[in-house]
Amino acid sequence: MLGDSSRRGVALSTTSTVVVIAAVLAIFLLAPGSAQVRHTFFNPTDMWRSFVGDPKAGYYSVGAALWLNIRMFIAAEILILILALAVAVVRQSTGPVLLPLRVAATVYVDVARGVPLILIIFAIGYGLPALQLTVISDQSAAVYGVAALVISYSAYVAEVYRAGINSVHRSQVAAARSLGLTQWSSMRYVILPQAVRNIIPPLLNDFISLQKDTAQVGLLGAIEANKAAEIYSSTVFNYSSYVVAAILFLLLTIPLARFTDHLIRRDQARRLAGAAQ
């Protein structure tokens, strides 16, 4: 009986999926401007040309430009993990001496979360060079872009850390302190390791978002994948390069998304096993 009904379920879901895809495809292909859209967005020749690039013709390789996105992502991610942890620990501190730091951290989180990323990118990317300072004003667009991403994302990630710290039961703090561990040692050896374990899925979620937001650094002129696609389209007047960039970003983010799902499932299984005991 059960086998029958589950087989019917699979058949039903397969049929409905095929029908929906066929309908969407039919609408796309039968639309009055279909041929035009397919030519400007999905032209295989243009897609290949934009992917490999041709500097002599005046455009860059979208594929090669993605390497800059990856580098910016990795650099930003490492810095975010460190800065956000510092902000979270300061916000969680209780000592009266640290009050000014606590206020500063709170203001930072409020501001950095409230201002759109694109404005932070402009403020850093155009503001710092205009100051005409040594070193600080002489960086590349990619460096300013990473700085802006770090400022914006650390505020979010700090709050994720904080939620993780609060998710560890207070009795763990009591147990640690009762053994004579200092407040810092309790945080370092007992609270943070458990907190980080609890927040890995939401952290990865933020990093999926970070991966694609590296595209916004192109606004400062850095030749990342999205900027390379834009240059191609304005040189050749064909938008297929954007589709190439989109596909490349998907190839980056989907594995991370599946990995996140896997971790969430594993965590659930572990919790269930723990509850069963």
Contact footprint for other proteins (CB under 8 A): 171-172, 174-182, 185, 189-190, 193-194, 197, 274, 277
Q: Which is nearer to other proteins, 39 or 197 (CB)?
A: 197
Min separation Cβ 203 and other proteins, Å: 17
Q: Which is nearer to other proteins, 132 or 277 (CB)?
A: 277
Residue 48 has, within 13 A of its CA and on its CB side, a CA count of 2
Q: Which is nearer to other proteins, 5 or 277 (CB)?
A: 277
E strand or H helix at 20: helix 2-30
Q: Which is nearer to other proteins, 7 or 270 (CB)?
A: 270
Min separation Cβ 177 and other proteins, Å: 7
Min separation Cβ 267 and other proteins, Å: 13
Beta bridge partners of 54: 59
* Total length of the chain: 277
Contact status, residue 67 vs residue 143, Cβ threshold 8 Å: no
Residue 196 has, within 13 A of its CA and on its CB side, a CA count of 11
Contact status, residue 139 vs residue 128, Cβ threshold 8 Å: yes
Token pair 């053994």 in the structure block, residue: 179
Rounded Cα–Cα distance for residues 211 and 44 (Å): 26
Q: DSSP string covering 103-170, please?
A: HHHHHHHHHHHHS-HHHHHHHHHHHHHHTT-TTTTS--HHHHHHHHHHHHHHHHHHHHHHHHHHHS-H
Min separation Cβ 170 and other proteins, Å: 10
Q: Which is nearer to other proteins, 124 or 190 (CB)?
A: 190
Min separation Cβ 181 and other proteins, Å: 6
Which of 79, 82, 77 lies closest to 214 in space, CA to CA? 77
E strand or H helix at 252: helix 240-276
Q: Which is nearer to other proteins, 45 or 171 (CB)?
A: 171
Min separation Cβ 99 and other proteins, Å: 19
Question: Phi/psi at 59 (nearest 5 deg)?
Answer: -135, 155
Min separation Cβ 162 and other proteins, Å: 19
Q: Which is nearer to other proteins, 85 or 148 (CB)?
A: 85
